[in-house]
Chain A
Amino acid sequence: MENLPVNDDNDDTLLARWLAGELTPEALDALRNLEGYPEYVEMLDALEGLSLPDFSPTLAWQKLASQLAVRQSAVGSGQEETVEATPEAAQTEAGKSTPIIAEIRNRKSEMRWLAIAAAVLLGVVGIWWFTGGMGEDQSIATKAGEQREVKLPDGSEATLNALSSLDFSPKTWGDDRYVLLEGEAFFKAKKGKTFTVRTEQGTVQVVGTMFNVYARDEELEVKCTEGRVQVINPESTERVLLKKGEQVTVLNGRMQDRLGLNFYPAWFKGESAFRSAPLERVFGEMERQYGVLVLTDSLGERTFSGKFVHQDLKKALKMVCDPMRLKYEVRGDTVRVF
């Protein structure tokens, strides 16, 4: 690492190392005196206000899975492959028959016959509905302010918090206890084969236990309230084993230190509790519980310890705002905090 950058013309990685926090204090001082420095800072600040179009990996996976099924059944029934762009690619696709594809193909056509038979018997018109309903992926999503208990095929349970979604496949549950989660849920996993909760922010694996998973934005937080829980970062490069009463956070894909459990999750008992949580996260949770939009002045780094109830918005606001010396105003679905 160089110590004495003079300007940004003769060090061709200076700004990159600055952003990565790799500059020495001296180099940093020198950089701050550069002519363009304030503009760089302003530019990067403005960038914070821009974000990417929404993307739901769960929905995308469902789309992909159905695409794969369509292509495979097309190959299986000897139809021409029409989706592939190049003939060469189509050949490879058609010529391929790994055991998995074959297996899926068989299951798929079996499924179809079953569905047709059932449709004829029952006089049900929608074959697509039946194939969709029979053991294919289940998808459960909650709205703002809604919580829902979901029974999983082996009697394990998941309680979904507001604005969360859970996907699983009853068909393969016996071999692979696997759910996809976006948002937050509390799980009671029966003892048995490995139970996997996959989130975009990382993976949680248990054998049989109770635990809470919060997976939103760049953060995955796992609290283990019973038994043992294994947490794996999204790239599958690190993992940590949590014991009862411990929690860990994966932030931007990187595993943070393991901590003593700092709050037993209480949200499924009608209130949300926090200890030293950024106010932004507290109001974010309030938005999800009440389906409102909370407009705040800059909250900076302020944190909140305490709780709010889920049945009474005014009371909830009072519980958070009073100790923080904030005022609030409710207008329809909008809350202004100042």
Chain B
Amino acid sequence: MEPLPQKNICHEPTYRELFYAHARHVRNFLFYKGASATEAEDLAQETFLRLWRDCAKVPVEKVKGYLFAVAGNLFLDEKKHGQVVLRFQRQAQPAEAADGNPHFDLETRELQDRLEKAIAQLPENQRIVFLMNRMDKMTYAQIAEHLDLSVKAIEKRMHQALVELRQILRNI
């Protein structure tokens, strides 16, 4: 598997490719920070408008770091630090819904509600790493590249996120 040649971001097809490859992750990142679904989508759009503006200044290999840094700053400008509320979607039908336990639905539902609250209470840097791994299915190396951190730092945050989540869950 050979790597593809890198192109200039000001080249429109390259820009479009980059949008397609990264837009969802940028949107998700903003959502993890506490933006609503609509806000996250708007800010992701603004992030990509900035990328177009800066296309001559950003080398393709630095684009992930650029996008996440810009998205993070835009979010800071927009939002005052407040309580983070996350609203996930529930899957219509939990996978094991019909295992004969009539309380299963209710229990699952309840645990999901608590988990949603607990995730919102995690420190932001742990929450982002945790969700990028679990939701975006990124490896630690990929997360490290996006956030411009070492893999070790990501692993620590991930570990800490799990430890904290368990503790928060016990008190909810």
Give chain A's interface residues, CB within 8 Å of chain B: 8, 12-17, 19-20, 36, 39-40, 42-44, 46-55, 57, 60-61, 63-64, 67-68, 71, 85, 89, 92-93, 96, 98, 100, 104, 176, 178, 180, 198, 200, 203, 218, 232, 234-240, 252-253, 255, 293, 295-298, 338
The answer to whether residues A53 and B31 also contact, given A13-B156, A98-B56 and a CB cut-off of 8 A, is: yes
B122 proximity list for chain A (CB < 8 A): none
Chain B: number of interface residues, binned into ranges? 35 or more
Residue from the set A46, A100, A198, A218 with the largest chain B CB neighbour count within 10 Å: A46
Are A239's CB and B20's CB within 8 A? Answer: no
Are A57's CB and B17's CB within 8 A? Answer: no
> In whole Å, how far is B145's beta carbon from the nearest beta carbon of chain A?
10
Give chain B's interface residues, CB within 8 Å of chain A: 1-4, 10-13, 16-17, 19-21, 23-24, 27-28, 31, 37, 40-41, 44-45, 48-50, 52-53, 55-56, 77, 87-99, 108, 111-112, 115-116, 133-135, 137, 139-140, 152, 154-156, 158-160, 162-163, 165-166, 169
A252 proximity list for chain B (CB < 8 A): 137
13 sampled A-B residue pairs with Cβ under 8 A: A15-B158, A15-B163, A36-B166, A54-B89, A61-B19, A64-B19, A64-B45, A67-B49, A200-B20, A236-B4, A236-B21, A237-B4, A298-B98
Instruction: Give Cα A54–Cα B31 distance, bound, in whole angstroms.
Output: 12
Are B115's CB and A47's CB within 8 A? Answer: yes
Residue from the set B55, B165, B166 with the largest chain A CB neighbour count within 10 Å: B166
Instruction: Give Cα A86–Cα B96 distance, bound, in whole angstroms.
Output: 52
Per DSSP, chain B at the interface is helix
Are B152's CB and A13's CB within 8 A? Answer: yes
Are A92's CB and B155's CB within 8 A? Answer: no
Given A8-B163, A16-B162, 10 other A-B contacts at CB below 8 A? A13-B155, A17-B155, A20-B140, A49-B91, A51-B135, A60-B45, A64-B19, A68-B52, A96-B53, A236-B17
